[in-house]
Amino acid sequence: MSKQKRSAEDFAEEVRTHLALEADELRAEGLSPEEASRRAHVEFGNVQTANERFYLRGRIQWLDSIMRDLRYGLRSLIHSPGFAITAVLTLALGIGANTAVFSVMNAVLLRSLPVNDPTRLVYFRTSNPPRRTGTISSSETFSYPVYQALRDQHPGLANVIAYVPLSVNKVAVRYGSQPEEAEGDMVSGAFFSGLGVKLPLGRGFSEQDEKDHAPVAVISYNYWTRRFARNPGVLGTTLYVNGIGFTIVGISGEGFEGLEAGGSADFWIPLQNRPELNAYGNPLDEGKAYINNPTWWCMRLIGRLSPDVNKQQAVAALTPLFQRAAYIGLGSPMADEKPLTLSLEDAKGFPGYSEQYGRPLHMLMAMVGFVLLIALTNVVMLLIARNATRQREFSMRLALGAGRSDLLRQLLAESLLLVTAGGALAWLFALLATRSLASWAQIEASLAPDRTVMLFALITLVVAALLFGLAPLRLALAAGPALSLKTSAATSNSEAGRSRAARIMVALQMTLCVVLLVGAGLLIRTLRNLENTPLGIRVDGLVVFGVNPHITSVPQGKAFYVDLIAKLRELPGVESVTVMAERLGSWWSDNSDMTVDGRLPDVPNGSSRTVRSNVVGPGFFTTIGVPILAGRDFADSDTETSPHVGIINEQFAKRFFPNRNPLGHMIGTDDGRYQMMVVGIVKDHKYRSIDEEPIPMAWYEYAQIPIAGKMDVELRVHGDPLAILPAARKTIQQIDPNLPLIKPMTQRAQYNLTISSQTLFARLAGFFGVLAVVLVATGLYGTLSYRVNRRTAEIGVRMAMGAGRSQVVWMILRDSLVLTVIGVIVGIPLAFAIGRALSSSLYGVQPLDIVTYSLAILGVTLVAFVASAAPATRAASVDPLKALRTE
Amino acid sequence: MPTQENNDDRIALLQGTLDLLILKTLLLGPCHGQGVARSIQRQSEEVLFVDHGSLYLALQRLEDKDLIQAKWGVSENNRKARFYSLTAKGRSELLDKTSQWKRLTRAMGLILEPQGLKAQNEEG
């Protein structure tokens, strides 16, 4: 249909004609020419405006009508505040939860390191380190000689970079006079240049800095912001690390917080060789720091692939070099030792996060996805219910000449309002939720939502807006203009198709609800099991803190702890005191092979020879409350000069002394250098974490072992364990005023940290389960109430025909029970699949846990009953006469 | 639906109804805009008030929808004017809308008017 577009001039001409004709007519009625012309103008109104409106007709009309639609939509939403609030809150919760979980996932799993071309970065991995070595992670850490060899010769790689933290947690630093703690790494000279980290201020390190072990430091953007308020004047000033001065020479780019898994480095220094700055803050091992100790594999290595080289090629080129370098300083491989393998792993994301959080986060994402699905169907059902009652309004509008596109626009406008309000609220909710998620999960990397997260939220919102606009449209149009003329509620609302759609949605919600409840149930039961797992320790009344005295020699260290233990024992309320090299329940353990009576014990083929060991003080087992099954505890009388003694656990005795009495036998380190006599056997107990299986363990007496540096002090006290801390702090400061208590907490809290991710996971799953239940209940309630309302007439007729109230109630209840049964039948296999996927996160509960499934089914049935109760009661109280009169 | 505040007794037209009235007026024969306005006002016994600016936009809208067509001609008092006439499509639209409107007003009337009055009206 092609028509000539009418010109504005033509329209203006028509308006002039109109004014002339009007004036003619008025003159004919007896007015003076001037008066007639004036009146004609007045009657017409603003001529200019009319011309403008003609001109803008095609252009501004849509904007104008959108504004009108929005105003209209707003008014109609205000008229039904219950609906509007429910819909907006539902949306906010659904979308907010998704955005929050997604932004954590984005930060942790999806985001790339803020370095140059992260896709070409690779971590070094090995199958197993050589025998007689100690590692931080048996597949991920390497010794300094290995690094040195690969740094000097690295075919296939542009460069090789090493880094190692100065401490397990934080290291003592001082800026000015204030002692404090910070996280710091020692890194190779190519760290910043090789990774391609931008330094907005100052410089990075050079090869020369590494060679000289230069006293220079780069601080992170975050630390610069937090500690120095972004003062550029910090460049050139001195930061003392463990008492050694480092000149700050650079500030790293925003967002770069190092490569340590889960940590966020505050500063970096070049690799050092001083004893005070050993890797991981460890005391020297036989006088050797990490840098001249080929048996301590503690450094992580990262490399950048050369252009045009892929991982396989690089591995092939590097492997011979690596296999040679691995045995530098170790002698030749033992006869039965398998050849070492080298592999390279993509390093584009944040290290360690995907192992730690990958699975839980994917599961959480699936759960919140279900919640979102429930939330969306809920709002759709509410909208359909609401718009069905508005069918006459739509009909009337169609009858008055509104086009289908007008109706669509109006529905979209209303949906847009809902979604905008819901989205704004969701964003707020997501920001809060993300922050608490991060603090619960102890993720220190920046979780601030970035563009990806915003895009995610926006796409969700747009999909929701379209869905909400389009879903009710069919209904509105189905009404047709004729419907406005029908007056019977019964006839205008009995289309079977619509109620089928609603029923399918309710059944779908029930299905998702079952799945979520089962998931939540399994995880909560897991948490319960973990919390109720006996530790094998009398954990109440124990408090623990670390001390890191400035010690230059082993005898000085021993004297420090003897003195400290004696002083702490005298504090009122203290029952007993001991020390340990590795804190209980800190996820940390020293693993190695041990000799029994001078040789490595035979073990049935394939099974492990690994023994966990710890170095502890006198009265250790008495203090932590572990029963001694045979022999004795360590005592003050065990000293460097007395016979060296050790204590083992039941597992050790069972595995390495089958059918023998271990007391009096000798056990020792795998290199045979250190031997001790077994004087005690203690009951198995939890050592590293709550969910561990017992493994063979051995304990050394600290006075008899040539190490002395940082130790953790364990106190058993009467009353509130934390109340002793001020007195303990005072005692320590009397010895050395600069010593802080490191991470003081109750031993129970320390153990609970080992299940913090399970706790978080279970709590969140529980929260989403409850959310699902609430959403499903409101959705079902809304749908049922609406249907009962629509069926008032039918119910009236039934009752007039003699149906009893209980029959009416049953009619409504049966409806929702049928839907529940369908939901359960579909939901159970789905839940089973989810349970299987979760199985690695479960503890002490089977994926097909009858109790959990029964509770979940009971839960949805209850929801169905509760949500149906009110509508059913209302149906039963229908007065047949009144119901029929409304016809 | 937006309505305008009016101090006089005349009633501003509901949106959509103006279209119907224009079509109805044009059923009697081709007419120019000013004639249509006059005709509506007069036939409604001056109760309905036609905003002239809106009228011309409505005419344009109907023309865009091919419900009416227009051509320039000469008025009875010899002025050049744009004359509108119904198309076939407009005619059937008018029939549709008229019957809808009648049923709507009857339905409204049933609700709004007391029983007695209705009976009288039907007799009268």
Nearest to B104 among A24, A68, A485 (CB): A485
Looking at residue A1, its pLDDT comes to 39
Looking at residue A289, its pLDDT comes to 86
| Nearest C-alpha in A relative to B97 | A399
Burial class (CB in 10 A: 0-12, 13-18, 19+), B7: exposed
Q: How far apart are CA B94 and CA B102, in angstroms?
A: 12
On the question of pLDDT at B1 being above 60, the answer is: no
Per-residue HEC secondary structure of A683-723 comes to CCCCCCCCCCCCCCEEEEEHHHCCCCCCEEEEEEECCCHHH
**CB-based contact B80 A45, cutoff 8 Å:** no
| Nearest C-alpha in B relative to A47 | B53
Count the residues in chain A: 887
**CB-based contact A396 B104, cutoff 8 Å:** yes
Quote the minimal CA–CA distance from A877 to chain B in Å.
27
Question: A6, A7, A18: best mutation site toward chain B, by most B Cβ within 10 Å?
Answer: A18
Q: How far apart are CA A517 and CA A716, in angstroms?
A: 41
**CB-based contact A54 B57, cutoff 8 Å:** yes
DSSP H helices, chain B, are: 17-27, 33-43, 52-64, 88-112, 115-123
**CB-based contact A25 B34, cutoff 8 Å:** yes
Q: How far apart are CA A517 and CA A520, in angstroms?
A: 5
ipTM above 0.95, yes or no: no
CB contact burial A187-203 (16+ within 10 A = b; e otherwise): bbbbbbbbbbbbbebbe
Looking at residue B81, its pLDDT comes to 87
Contacts of A68 in chain B (CB under 8 A): 2
On the question of pLDDT at B8 being above 60, the answer is: no
Q: How far is CA B32 from CA A15, A116, A743, B73, in A?
A: 11, 74, 91, 9
Q: How far is CA A838 from CA A207, A362, A518, in A?
A: 47, 10, 11
Domain ranges of chain B: 11-123
Q: How far is CA A808 from CA A212, A576, A663, A802, A871, in A?
A: 89, 72, 80, 11, 11
Assign domain B11-123 to its CATH architecture: Orthogonal Bundle (1.10)
Nearest to B104 among A24, A68, A484 (CB): A484
Q: How far apart are CA A192 and CA A185, in angstroms?
A: 13
Low-confidence ranges of chain A (pLDDT < 70): 1-5, 55-62, 111-112, 260-263, 348-356, 401, 440-449, 474-499, 605-606, 708, 883-887
| Amino acid symbol at A582 | E
pLDDT band, residue B123 (cuts 50/70/90): very low
Asked if A400 is an interface residue toward chain B (Cβ–Cβ < 8 A), one would say: yes
Asked if B101 is an interface residue toward chain A (Cβ–Cβ < 8 A), one would say: yes
A–B interface: beta-carbon pairs under 8 A: 82
Nearest to A45 among B17, B52, B79 (CB): B52
Instruction: Work out the end-to-end distance of chain B between its first and last CA atoms, rounded to an integer number of angstroms.
Output: 34
| Amino acid symbol at A680 | G
| Nearest C-alpha in B relative to A54 | B57
Per-residue HEC secondary structure of A815-839 comes to HHHHHHHHHHHHHHHHHHHHHHHHH
**CB-based contact A14 B56, cutoff 8 Å:** yes
Burial class (CB in 10 A: 0-12, 13-18, 19+), A578: buried
Q: How far apart are CA B124 and CA A754, in angstroms?
A: 92
Contacts of A39 in chain B (CB under 8 A): none
> What pTM, to 2 d.p., does this model score?
0.65
Asked if B10 is an interface residue toward chain A (Cβ–Cβ < 8 A), one would say: no
Quote the minimal CA–CA distance from B108 to chain A in Å.
9
- Per residue in A384-442, pLDDT (tens digit) is 777 777 777 777 777 776 777 777 778 888 888 888 899 899 889 888 888 777 776 66
Nearest to A18 among B2, B34, B77 (CB): B34
> CA nearest A163: which of A117, A119, A113?
A113
Q: How far apart are CA A208 and CA A192, in angstroms?
A: 14
Question: A2, A9, A17: best mutation site toward chain B, by most B Cβ within 10 Å?
Answer: A17
DSSP state of A290: G
Q: How far apart are CA A346 and CA A353, in angstroms?
A: 13
**CB-based contact A25 B16, cutoff 8 Å:** no
Quote the minimal CA–CA distance from B107 to chain A in Å.
7
pLDDT band, residue B4 (cuts 50/70/90): very low
**CB-based contact A402 B20, cutoff 8 Å:** no
DSSP H helices, A106-190, are: 144-152
Question: B17, B34, B41: best mutation site toward chain A, by most A Cβ within 10 Å?
Answer: B34
Looking at residue A465, its pLDDT comes to 82
Looking at residue A254, its pLDDT comes to 80
